[in-house]
Amino acid sequence: MSQDPNARGPRGRQPPRGPQPPRGPFPPNVPLPPSAPLPPSAPLPPSAPLPPSQPAPAEEFEYDEFWDTLDQAPIARQTLMARLRWLPPFVVLFSAASLVSVAFLAFSLTSRSVEFPVLIAAAVVTGIVFAADTAALARIAYLAAEDGRSGRALLLALAGGTAAVMAGLSFGWAAVMVLLSL
C-alpha cells in the first residue's frame, strides 16, 4: 500500500482536521500557564522553521466520522427550515409520493362509489412507489455502511424492509382484486 500525502477518505472526502485545543475564558492581562492553550486573540509566538516535509504515516489520513461534520452547526441548534434545506430532493420526492399513494389507496377503499379498476390502480400505484422507496433506501443503506455509519445503515435497512413489505402487500392485494374482478 502506497502512502499518499493527498489521501482522501471514503467516496473522495477530504480527511478530517485534527482535534482543536479548547479555548478557555482567560482574562487578557493575566499571563497564561505554560501548558494552557492560547486564546483566539493572543499573538502567536515566534516559531522555528518547519522540518522538510516527508510523507506522513497512513494512520494520519484515515477517515474518522467524528470529525466529518466539525465545521457544521449542530442539527439540534438549527431551525426546522434550516434542517429541511439539508434534505436531498429525492427524499422529499419519495416521501411525498408515498404519502399521496397511501392517501389515494385510503380514499379508494373508503369511497362507496369507486369501481374495481380504481381499487386495482390504487394498489398498483402504491406498490410501485414503495418498490422505488425500497430500491432507494437499499442504495442509501449501502452507502452508509460503506462510510462506516452502521447505526444509520441498520435503520435505513429496516425502513427499506418495511417499504418492501408494503410493496409486496400492495401488489398482492392488486392481484387478489384482479382475480375477484374476473
C-alpha cell at 83: 434542517
105 occurs within a structural domain: yes
22 occurs within a structural domain: no
Q: Is the pLDDT of residue 120 over 70?
A: yes
55 occurs within a structural domain: no
Decide: pTM greater than 0.85: no
Single out the residue of 62, 48, 56 nearest to residue 147, CA to CA.
62
17 occurs within a structural domain: no
> What pLDDT shows up at residue 102?
94
Higher pLDDT, 140 or 32: 140
> What pLDDT shows up at residue 45?
60
Domain of 166 in residue numbering reads as: 81-181
Q: State the pLDDT confidence band at 157, using cuts at 50, 70 and 90.
A: very high
pLDDT digits (tens, 9 = 90+) for 11-61: 565 555 556 555 555 555 555 555 656 556 656 666 666 666 665 555 555
State how many domains the chain has.
Answer: 1
Single out the residue of 124, 149, 152, 147 nearest to residue 137, CA to CA.
152
